[in-house]
Structure 1
């Protein structure tokens, strides 16, 4: 058994951030999916630099909104994945799950091999995820309505579970 079963490797965290961000983009800005991998690579190489690209894009005036949504989604998704990892750490230990990575993917509604259904968060946990997403969005410069919309999309992606 590993010494820190509740922690994510940087690789796993980045993969989960990408997965959540793609899920959010499918509903909020599907047109950006075509350039998602390139934008994500740039974000992970220099998160602050990509977020600060706003001033360069505004000077040019080309595609400002479109060009900036993905980096913001990635930044908020990173904060949410870190929160989820801390929230599910105890549950992973208690249930003997193989990894936080697998558990979080189940929160995203992704079915893992085996009989268990995707996990869901309690309403209080989901409210906390949404609140943290709004706060992070505002902190990195999104307007209130954009931060709320992004938080709703993230919370919706996490809370979706198949009905019985």
Structure 2
């Protein structure tokens, strides 16, 4: 198996970022679910532009005149997914498992609609040290995109919690 089998494609990464961000939006800003898909499309087309517009409390392109949390969640979810893919990719290489994308989806507990994974392919929950690293990366990215420390911490907690707790839906 080549190392390319372990890497996420840009589309896989975007899919996982959307998945994690959607989970976090459900908990932290459910009122934004109606515009989540549109906001995500605009974010992935121009991340810096959407964050700049959001940071100025301007419309993000589809007539919403309020600061949205969703672009920040997407921005923070991106390095978290990259970190998870790296963690999972290293483990999968050792175990000979084929798909980082599928394994991260299972880690996020969002593999519904697919065949149940064999026991050997089911991910172990992240260790406390791994979750601490996820939280650290999320906090640092939140601060880097302009969130105040308390908001960056809350968002990091929501992301780490979303990874460590099985969704109820």
Once the two structures are TM-superposed, the CA of residue 107 in structure 1 deviates from its matched residue by 1.3
Which structure 1 residue ranges, 4+ long, deviate > 6 Å from structure 2?
none
- Taking structure 1 as the reference length, the TM-score comes to 0.88
Deviation at 1:110, TM superposition (A): 2.7
Give yes or no for the alignment of 1:123 onto 2:124: no
- State whether residues 57 and 65 of structure 2, in contact with CA within 8 Å, keep that contact through their aligned partners in structure 1: no
How far the C-alpha of 1:109 sits from its partner, in A, is: 1.9
Determine the structure 2 residue equivalent to 1:81: 81
Structure 1 counterpart SS, 2:4: coil
Q: Deviations over 1:8-56 (max 9, x none)?
A: 0000000000000000011000110110000000000000000000226
* Structure 2 length-normalised TM: 0.85
* Structure with the higher helix share, 1 or 2: 1
Paired positions, count: 157
Residue 58 of structure 2 corresponds to 57
Aligned partner of residue 97 in structure 1, secondary structure: coil
Equivalence for 1:153: 158
Question: d(CA) in 1 for partners of 2:79 and 2:36?
Answer: 18
8 Å contact kept, 2:24–2:162? yes
Q: Which runs of 5+ in 2 are unaligned?
A: none
CA contact (8 A) 2:51 2:72 kept: yes
1:48 alignment partner in structure 2: 48
Q: Within 2, Cα distance between the matches of 1:143 and 1:110?
A: 30
How far is the alpha carbon of 1:118 from its aligned partner?
A: 4.6
Partner Cα separation in structure 1 for residue 127 and residue 80 of structure 2: 15
Does the residue aligned with 1:4 lie in a helix, a strand or coil?
A: helix
Q: Could you list the per-position Cα deviations for residues 78-116 of structure 1 after superposition, in whole angstroms to 9, with x for gaps in the alignment? A: 010011111111111122222111111111123452333
The answer to whether the 8 A contact 1:23-1:157 is kept is yes
CA deviation digits over 1:122-153, x for unaligned, max 9? 11011000011000000100011110110001
5+ residue gaps, structure 1? none
- Pick closer, same or farther for the CA change 1:149–1:57 going to 2, 3 Å: same
